[in-house]
Amino acid sequence: MQYRNFGKTGLKVSPLGFGCMRLPILDNDSSKIDEPEAIRMIRYAIDNGINYIDTAYPYHGGNSELLVAKALKDGYREKVVLATKLPCYKVEKTEDFDALLNEQLAKLETDHIDVYMLHALNKTRWAKMKALGVLDWLAKPKADGRVGAIGFSFHDEYPIFQQIIDDYDGWDFCQIQYNYMDITEQAGTRGLKYAADKGLAVVVMEPLLGGKLANLPDSLAAAFKAANAERSLVEWAFNWLWDQPDVSLLLSGMSTMEQVVEDVELSARAAVGCMTAEDQAVIDQVRGAYNQFTPIHCTRCEYCLPCPSGVNIPRIFELYNRSVMIGEWGQGRFRYSLMPAGEHADQCVECGTCEDACPQHLDIIAWLKVCEDVLGPNKAEYDIQRHPAH
C-alpha cells in the first residue's frame, strides 16, 4: 500500500477510505445495520492496510457512528484516521457546535476525532454557519485536542466552493463529489485544483456516482472491455482518480465483503501514472455517451429521506434509470407495483423538503411526476422530451 500525504497535516492516508454510509443492512431498513458483518468488513479493510474510516452523524439513521465505535474496539481505533462530520442542519445556535461535537465523541467512544468537517456545505448553509460564528469556533476544538484536521464537505456550484475556501485560512482539507463523469459538476476538476493549490488535502466522495459507474449499460461497458478486458469498471473509475496527484484519497461506500476485498486489492496498486493516454481517451468516449442512459442523476445518498409523505424517492429513481438503461419498461413497472403503495410517487404533496436536502439539486418533484406517469398504472410510454431539465 502506497500511502499519500493528507495535505499539510502530516497525516499519511491510504488511497482508499472506508465510507460508512452504505453498510450492509437488515430487513431493507437502512437504519438497521448488520453489525457483525459490517464490523467484519471494516476490520478486514484495516487489517489489509486501509487506515481512513469516514462516517457522519445522520448515516444509517444516526447509527453509523455507533457501529464505527464498535468496529474500532480491540485496538483498531489506534490504527486509523477517523473522520466524521458536524451535522450543520441541526445547528440553530452557537452552543450547538460544541454540543453536537461532544455528542459525536461520545457516540464514537473516543476523546478525539482525527478529521472533522462541516457537513454538506452549500451557499445557504455556509451563510448560516458564518452567522452563528463558526469561523470563530473552528479553532477551538482543534486547540483543545477534540479534533485534528478541520475541513468541510461540499455540494453546490464552484463559485461557492471557492468562496468557502477563501473565507477561512484554517482549512486543512475538503471533501468533494468527483468522478470521471462529474468533472464540471459541483466543485469539479477546477475545485480540485484550487483546493490543492491552497495546500488542502482533497477527499473524493461518490467515485462511482452512487454505484452507477460500476453498473454501466452494456454498450458503454463494451468500450472499457475492448480497451482492457482484465480491468473491471470499478478499477477504471478508481484509477482515473488515483492517477491524479491532487486526490488525497477516495471513499468507497462498500456494502458487501466482496466489494471490500475487491476495493482493497485495487487500492494496493493505486498510483499516480496508472492511466495511459489511451486509457484517458476511452474515459472521454464513455463520458460523452453516458448522460443519455441515466437521466436522473441520483446517487442514492438518501439525504431526501425520510419523505414527510412516505415517498421512497431513491428507489423510484433507481427503477426509472434502470428502465432507461436497459430500454425495457415492463420489469421496472412490475418492481414499482411491488413497492408499498404509500411509497409511490403519487403520494408526493410537493412540500419541497426533498429538494432543499438534495446535494445534487435535482428537480425531484418534477421527476416524481414523470416516474409515476411511466411506471405507475397509466403506463405512459417513455419520451425523452418529457424529461425535466437536468
In this structure, are 247 and 335 located in the same domain? no
**R_g of the chain computed on alpha carbons:** 21
pTM as predicted: 0.82
Whether residues 377 and 245 fall in one domain: no
Q: Residue 288: what pLDDT?
A: 84
Residue 305 in domain: no
- Written as tens digits, the pLDDT of the chain (390 aa) is 999 999 999 999 999 999 999 999 999 999 999 999 999 999 999 999 999 999 999 999 999 999 999 999 999 999 999 999 999 999 999 999 999 999 999 999 999 999 999 999 999 999 999 999 999 999 999 999 999 999 999 998 899 999 999 999 999 999 999 999 999 889 999 999 999 999 999 999 999 988 889 988 888 999 999 999 999 999 999 999 999 999 999 999 999 999 999 999 999 999 999 999 999 999 999 998 887 777 898 988 999 999 999 999 999 998 898 788 766 788 788 889 888 999 999 999 999 999 999 998 999 999 999 999 999 986 544 443 344 433
CA angle 170, 201, 272 (to 5 degrees): 160
Task: Tell me the C-alpha to C-alpha distance, in Å, between residue 193 and each of 171, 173, 190, 196, 202.
Answer: 15, 13, 5, 5, 9
Q: Say how far apart CA 78 and CA 75 lie, in whole Å.
A: 6
Amino acid 280 reads Q
Q: Rounded distance, CA 32 to CA 27, Å?
A: 8
Q: Residue 275 domain-assigned?
A: yes
Looking at the structure, do residues 263 and 198 belong to the same domain, yes or no? Answer: yes
| Bridge partners for 177 per DSSP | 205
Q: Which residues pair with 115 in a beta bridge?
A: 83, 149
pLDDT of 378:
66
Quick one: pLDDT at residue 323?
A: 84
Cβ proximity of 212 and 179 under 8 Å: no
Residues 269 and 341 in one domain: no
Q: What is the Cα 42 distance to its own chain's centre? A: 17
State whether 347 and 254 are in the same domain.
Answer: no
Collapsed DSSP state (helix, strand, coil) of residue 129: helix
Q: Does 298 reside within a domain? A: no
- CB neighbourhood size of 214 (10 A): 19
Q: Are 107 and 193 found together in one domain?
A: yes
Give domain status of residue 114, yes or no: yes
Instruction: Show which of 230, 260, 291 is a domain's final residue.
Output: 291
Q: Which residue in 68, 6, 13, 15 sits closest to 43, CA to CA?
A: 68
Q: Is residue 307 part of a domain?
A: no
CB atoms within 10 A of CB 302: 19
Give yes or no for a contact between 220 and 286, defined as CB atoms under 8 angstroms apart. yes
Sequence letter at residue 278: E
Residues 32, 110 within the same domain: yes
Domain boundary among the residues 234, 258, 291 is at: 291
Same domain, 65 and 29: yes
pLDDT reported for residue 379? 56
**Amino acid, single-letter form, for residue 231:** R
Q: For position 233, which CATH number holds?
A: 3.20.20.100
The CA-CA-CA angle for residues 97, 117, 262, to 5°, reads 140
Domain count, the chain: 2
Residues 304, 316: contact at Cβ < 8 Å? Answer: no
Query: What amino acid occupies position 165?
Result: I
Q: Are residues 277 and 330 in the same domain?
A: no
The cell for 378 is: 397509466
Residues 133 and 184 in one domain: yes
Q: Please list the residues that pair with 19 across neighbouring strands.
A: 54
Three cell numbers, residue 229: 478486458
Query: Which residue range forms the structural domain that includes residue 115?
Result: 4-291
- Cα–Cα distance for residue pair 97/339, rounded to 1 Å: 39
The count of residues in the chain is 390
Q: Which residues contact 136 (CB under 8 A, 6 or more apart)?
A: none
Same domain (yes/no): 272, 327: no
Residues 329, 192, single domain; the answer is no
User: Which of 226, 256, 291 corresponds to the end of one domain?
Assistant: 291
Q: Could you tell me if residue 231 is inside a domain?
A: yes
Q: Which residues are within 8 A (CB) of 119 and not within 5 positions of it... i.e. 6 or more apart? A: 56, 57, 85, 86, 87, 88, 89, 152, 153
Residue 295 to residue 42: CA distance in whole angstroms: 34
How many helices (H) and strands (E) would you count in the chain? 17, 12
**pLDDT at residue 293 in the model:** 76
